[in-house]
Amino acid sequence: MNQHPQTSTRGVFLDRDGVLNVDKYGAFRTQQFALIDGVVSALTILRLLGFRLIVVTNQSAIGRGEATEAQVNQFNQLLLDTLAKEGIEIEAVFVCPHDPEFGQGIYKKDCSCRKPKPGMFFEAAEKHQLELSKCYSIGDKKSDVVAGFNAGCKTILVETGILDDELKYPGVSPNYRVRSLVDAAKVIAGELAIEQMSALGQFVAPFHAEVCEKLHR
């Protein structure tokens, strides 16, 4: 069930704020960085199951002049370094800095990358040879769900962030709505097990021994 991540065409697209790190106003400031509980365990599961991890994040604070690209990049690097210390590789971080309404200068743009548009997903899929129909999108907002759906991914909404756009997308439903990233990883592991059972015609445990051993060290 676990293909080596570097050769896998399966990926998980992860929103950043509210999914990986605690979502606070000014989440581009490194002194406010904090991982959400359970993130390391969840990403460990996904990596051991053969998924490549890609972060796709709207950072319109850049466009509005509230943050610089350097500040956001520094925050992203802190996230990557923190996860790397836990043995977790994030292959890439894609950032949309635009704000079509309140952006300043070149950042005031109705772009194709700002979620709910799927531009970052398409760019990542091309650069990293991912099959979007085999990928998942995990976010804490309905705009993440729409973006993942528009890219052709299965979508999971987690309840660890600030879900402030439900009224904007009243008819939108993810494939799954779960409490945390750990629960999302379990859903994905279960789906892979069902897929393997269908292919092999025999029982496949959702969590194989390698996963369990890693998580209980």
> Which residues are identified as catalytic?
15, 17
Q: Are 192 and 206 in contact (CB under 8 A)?
A: yes
- Return d(Cα 88, Cα 53) in angstroms, integer: 9
- Domain of 164, CATH number, reads 3.40.50.1000
Instruction: Give tens-digit pLDDT for 45-83.
Output: 999 999 999 999 999 999 999 999 999 999 999 999 999
The residue segments making up the domain with residue 94 are 5-215
The three-state secondary structure class of 194 is helix
Give residue 5's pLDDT band: very low, low, confident or very high (50, 70, 90): low
Q: Identify which of 5, 8, 11, 3 has the alpha carbon closest to the alpha carbon of residue 121.
A: 11
In tens, the pLDDT along 128-176 reads 999 999 999 999 999 999 999 999 999 999 999 988 898 889 889 999 9
pLDDT at 1: 42
Reported as a single tens digit per residue, the pLDDT across 180-205 is 999 999 999 999 887 776 776 766 66
Dig out the tokens for 130 from the structure: 């991912």
CB 52 within 8 A of CB 5: yes
> Which positions ≥6 away from 105 have C-beta within 8 Å?
none
* Structural domain total, the chain: 1
> How much is the pTM?
0.90
Q: Which tops the pLDDT comparison, 130 or 4?
A: 130
Given pLDDT bands bounded at 50, 70 and 90, which one contains residue 86?
Answer: very high
Mean local confidence (pLDDT), 33-42 = 96
Q: How confident is the model at residue 213 (pLDDT cuts 50, 70, 90)?
A: very low
State the sign of the Cα–Cα–Cα–Cα dihedral 39, 45, 49, 50.
Answer: positive
pLDDT band (50, 70, 90) for residue 217 = very low
